[in-house]
Structure 1
């Protein structure tokens, strides 16, 4: 899967989970019928939010994004549906390639070496990415919901 396809899939998934969470909030706070939508939508959104952040960092390192652009990509996960807008912005500016640069190029720093290792060993990279999402989601659950 290319950086473009992976980033787009996770960006769209993050927007969809935002919609689920907002629908659940409507049911809970406006109609006062159930809080199940917030529980399920909130958990799904939290997991996909973390996955989006991990994906953004991996793509940013591989595609040589600036720190500012990387932060913009991460901040796009905060307002509802902005991940899709950032995806379009990044594609229009050629920031999302059709190939992973660090699969073939020599990495130069610690972040590039880690991302290169993840990309050159897809099964281990997928497992490491999933583990990172699980651990970071667990930390977020320990810290508690945003206030």
Structure 2
């Protein structure tokens, strides 16, 4: 799976889960049919939201986006459906081109500790998947412990 395909897949999934959450909110607050839609949509959206942030970080490092653009990409998920125009803009500007950087090149950006760590993790895909999974579960568990935005309703 290329960085482009991974990023696009999770960007689309993030937008779909926004739709799920909004539909759940409409069911709860407009049609007053209960909160199961918000509970399910919110949980799924939360997981994909966190996964998008992690993947934006991974792809941003791989694509040499720089800190500013990587942070912008990560925070785009806060805006409903914002990951879709982001994906289109990155694609249009060639910022998703290329494969995973498994080897060091002459590019000075490949000589940083972060790039070296990326190459080490890419060389161990099972470990990378495990680390990302642990990060996802850890962040989600922390957020569930804190509680929903605005408190429980």
TM norm structure 2: 0.90
Q: Gaps spanning 5+ residues in structure 2: where? A: none
Q: Deviations over 1:54-93 (max 9, x none)?
A: 0000111111002221121012100111111101111111
Question: Residue in 1 aligned with 2:111?
Answer: 108
Q: In angstroms, what is the RMSD of aligned CA positions?
A: 1.3
> How far apart in 1 are the matches of 2:120 and 2:30?
48
Residue among 117, 122, 130 paired with 2:125: 122
User: How many equivalent residue pairs?
Assistant: 146
Q: Which SS does the other structure have where 2:94 is aligned?
A: coil
| Structure with bigger RCO (C-alpha 8 Å, 6+ apart) | 1
Q: Which SS does the other structure have where 1:76 is aligned?
A: helix
Q: Gaps spanning 5+ residues in structure 1: where? A: none
Q: Deviations over 1:29-71 (max 9, x none)?
A: 0000121000000000000000000000011111100222112
> How far apart in 1 are the matches of 2:128 and 2:56?
15
* Alignment map for 1:1-147 (pairs within 5 Å): 1-101=1-101, 103-105=102-104, 107-147=110-150
Q: Which SS does the other structure have where 1:145 is aligned?
A: coil
Q: Which SS does the other structure have where 1:90 is aligned?
A: helix
Q: Which SS does the other structure have where 2:24 is aligned?
A: helix
TM norm structure 1: 0.93
